Amino acid sequence: MTTTNAVEKTAKSRRFPLWIQIVIGLIVGCAIGALWPKFGTALQPFGTAFIKAIKMIVIPLVFSAVTLGIYKMSADFKTLGRLAVLSFGWFYFATGMSVVLGILLNAIFHPGAGVALKATGAIPANLAHSINWVKFLLDLIPDNIVYAASQQMIIPTLFFAICFGIALGKAGKVTEPVVKVLEGIMQAMFKLTAGIVAFSPIAVAGIMAWVFATQGGAMLFAMAKLIGVMYIGLVVVGVVFCIIVSLLGLPPFKTVRKVAEPLLLAFTTCSSEVTLPVHMQILEGTGIPNKIVSFVLPLGYSFNLDGSALYQSLTVCFLAEAYGLHLDFASIITILITTLIANKGTANVAAASLVILAVILTSINLPVEAIAIVAGVDRFMDMGRTTVNVFGNTTAALLLNRFGGKGIADDNLTMTQTA
């Protein structure tokens, strides 16, 4: 309660929301780079410091978040095994569909074409030809988890986090102290992330001043194209979800109207967490048992981020194209797998998409300093992707109630569906 009140006080006392500060930083940085190129070039270290700070928290934040997410899912298997399996399968199917759509949209529209940013990294040589599937699978298992984490080896670290989370869930109460430590680490990372993100307006100004001074204005046009392409993809995902709702025998437009309040909250606040209480009430009011709603929604808010997955895969492909780096089949498979894993368990992390972008970019050795450029327009994309995240979880709750809710009912009577 005290923490919540403090956060509310901070939000009220802040004259300008962070996203407005970032947009101001974007504009100021562009102006400095255009008018005073030498000074703009000298501001690059501000952006570099921001990127190094983001990379600093990637391993502990993602490890603790993914481990705790898997731990909770493992505990849920004991009471709602069938529903957990179906939920897990659907979440990964929907996320995978969104990741593939993002990659396809980049291949169709090429929003990063012609930008020609100077590459600071290259795709590893072992990904340039064909995949050695045996080596690929063996490389998932780290010889030394401490070494893997220290070397920013993302996929082996995430593999260990998944295994460790399952083991914590299976071991029972004896692991509760370990879970509390991980929760403490994650909360500390939340605080640290908030501090780093508070620096982002200055970092964005520095990066954009450097970009404008050294790269010219082509990047801004490309960013506008990126936003447009992403919203095309979000509309496609929304239509797919509406078709699924229709196949369940429910009117799509009335379903959208029923959940309009959480959708609007998501769009305006860019936070799925804010919508959770209202969203749960509305879905229970449609006749879905509380036991299913209280299981699927919180789980979905961590494991079913369809809009975010589309954004992440599209943005990574956009940055690769902007830097003139070729993504072959092996690299695309790496993006798909990394996004599917890293996308889970970070829904309530401040600037989670920037962290996940750092994870994906690091995994294929793309230049991560471009994250600060994307951060300049992140708010405009965040509104759409958060809204799709919420609607995706509405669809998941309806779908899983139909196919996984047999035998699961509230002790008390629930409201029946209205036409």
Query: Does a structural domain hold residue 247?
Result: yes
CA distances from 219 to 23, 91, 319 (A): 15, 34, 11
Query: Does a structural domain hold residue 7?
Result: no
Per-residue model confidence as pLDDT tens for the chain (419 residues): 444 444 444 444 456 676 678 778 878 888 888 888 888 888 888 877 877 887 787 788 778 877 887 787 676 565 556 777 888 899 999 999 999 999 999 989 988 776 655 444 333 343 333 345 576 577 778 888 888 888 777 778 878 888 888 888 888 888 889 989 988 988 888 788 778 878 878 888 887 788 778 765 555 666 788 889 999 999 999 999 999 999 999 999 999 988 988 888 788 767 676 677 778 888 988 888 877 887 788 778 777 889 999 999 998 888 888 777 777 788 888 888 888 877 765 544 545 676 777 778 777 777 666 676 677 677 678 888 989 999 999 999 999 888 876 655 544 434 333 33
Distance CA 296, CA 105 (A): 29
Decide: 405 and 83 in contact? Cβ < 8 Å: yes
Decide: 235 and 388 in contact? Cβ < 8 Å: no
pLDDT of residue 80: 56
pLDDT of residue 121: 37
pLDDT of residue 201: 83
pLDDT of residue 414: 41
CATH of the domain at 169: 1.10.3860
Per the structure, the count of domains in the chain is 1
Q: What is the 3-state secondary structure (H, E, C) of 182-245?
A: HHHHHHHHHHHHHHHHHCHHHHHHHHHHHHHHHHCCHHHHHHHHHHHHHHHHHHHHHHHHHHHH
Domain of residue 117 covers 17-404
Enter the pTM of the model: 0.65
Which one, of 381, 371, 237, 255, lies nearest residue 306 by Cα?
237
Tell me which DSSP letter residue 120 carries: S
Q: Provide the CB-side half-sphere exposure for 283 (13 A, CA).
A: 30
Distance CA 187, CA 349 (A): 9
pLDDT of residue 6: 44
| SS3 call for 320 | helix
Query: Does a structural domain hold residue 320?
Result: yes
Query: Does a structural domain hold residue 9?
Result: no
Decide: 84 and 73 in contact? Cβ < 8 Å: yes
Query: Does a structural domain hold residue 413?
Result: no
Number of H helices, E strands in the chain: 20, 0
Query: Does a structural domain hold residue 114?
Result: yes
Distance CA 319, CA 208 (A): 15
Decide: 71 and 176 in contact? Cβ < 8 Å: no
H helical segments located in 248-349: 252-258, 260-269, 272-285, 290-303, 306-322, 329-342
pLDDT of residue 253: 92
Which one, of 378, 93, 113, 24, lies nearest residue 230 by Cα?
378
pLDDT of residue 100: 94
pLDDT of residue 379: 66
